[in-house]
Amino acid sequence: MSSNIEHVQCLIIGSGPAGYTAAIYAARADLKPVLYTGMLAGGQLTQTTEVENFPGYPDGIQGPEMMELFQKQAERFGTDIRFGYVSSVDFSSSPHKVVVDEVKTILADTVIISTGASAKWLGLESEQKYNGFGVSACAVCDGFFFKGQDVAIVGAGDTAAEEATYLAKLCRKVYMIVRKPEFRASKAMVSRVLNTPNIEVIYSSETQEIVGNGQTVNGVRIKNTDTQEERLLDVTGFFVAIGHHPNTDIFKGWIDTDEVGYIITKPGSTQTNIEGVFACGDAQDKVFRQAITAAGTGCMAALEAERYLAAKESVVEA
């Protein structure tokens, strides 16, 4: 077989909590997994600072350090971890054909997709400058750090409404910046927001700039799209809740997804519509999107891949 073609039992695509957990379980089951990290090795957590809600870290841990530990544990059991991205796939036959970096072909008996999702951002320079230092795309992850403080959140859908009410329990004041004159969220969620006394909804407004002292956020400048009037909100935290985009475009045409692109798995399983291809983590979870739930589905995917291979083997032997 050419050096540019390799056959593996288990290929894991992506390297966040889901991918590394799948690798730990697959390696311990002697599936000799090969994991390609993608362009962001370690996934979204490498772009966060303090992680305080993952069990086993009573004092919290930095996101990049946590992912390093996940990686070391996967490697300890023999996972072959490689930096690279998947450029195309062909799931028309088994073994599944996956092309990496446009040059190397992997033939995989099982594939575990753990490519995650990326938060959508407003595209402001100041937003990226203060990302992790007062700017966040996850209220559940980071709201605790702003206890008793004033914060702003931008978004108009159900997720934004849910995160605003979550923040309202922790923070003194929550400004909710809505770009249009009305919400996109369901009536029930809008009602919850409007009945929360410490949430102030600011309609028809766009964020111009996140203001800070070079280290942390101390305000956000917004502009009313009708009157062009500008206003500076005195806040220490800024949350972006305008949605996520699952990193699944490469699988289009092969794997069933919903209208946004989240992979559809069989209920109670990580199995996709293609036999021997499993999906875990944020690539298939649009509801919880937490490191702990991603790790849980990573475990499920590896166990299901192991069972799938064992069943195939027993059929061959019979």
Start-end of CATH 3.50.50.60 domains in the chain: 5-118+244-317, 121-240
Task: Report the pLDDT value the prediction gives residue 1, as an integer from 0 to 100.
Answer: 55
The answer, yes or no, to whether residue 52 has pLDDT greater than 90, is no
| Antiparallel, parallel or unpaired: β 96-100 and 86-90 | antiparallel
Catalytic residue, candidates 10, 90, 101, 142: 142
Rounded CA gap, 113 and 183, in Å?
34
Q: Are 308 and 300 in contact (CB under 8 A)?
A: no
- pLDDT per residue as tens digits for the range 273-309: 999 999 999 999 998 889 999 999 999 999 999 999 9
Based on the residue annotation, tell me whether 141 is a catalytic residue of this protein.
Answer: yes
Catalytic residue, candidates 10, 141, 171, 280: 141
- pLDDT per residue as tens digits for the range 10-23: 999 999 999 999 99
Q: Are 135 and 240 in contact (CB under 8 A)?
A: yes
Q: What does residue 211 show for φ and ψ, rounded to 5 degrees? A: -100, 140
Based on the residue annotation, tell me whether 171 is a catalytic residue of this protein.
Answer: no
Q: Are 254 and 91 in contact (CB under 8 A)?
A: yes
The answer, yes or no, to whether residue 186 has pLDDT greater than 80, is yes
- pLDDT per residue as tens digits for the range 94-132: 999 999 999 999 999 999 999 999 889 999 999 999 999
Catalytic residue, candidates 10, 80, 101, 138: 138
CATH number of 5-118+244-317: 3.50.50.60
Q: What fold does the segment set 121-240 form as a domain?
A: FAD/NAD(P)-binding domain (3.50.50)
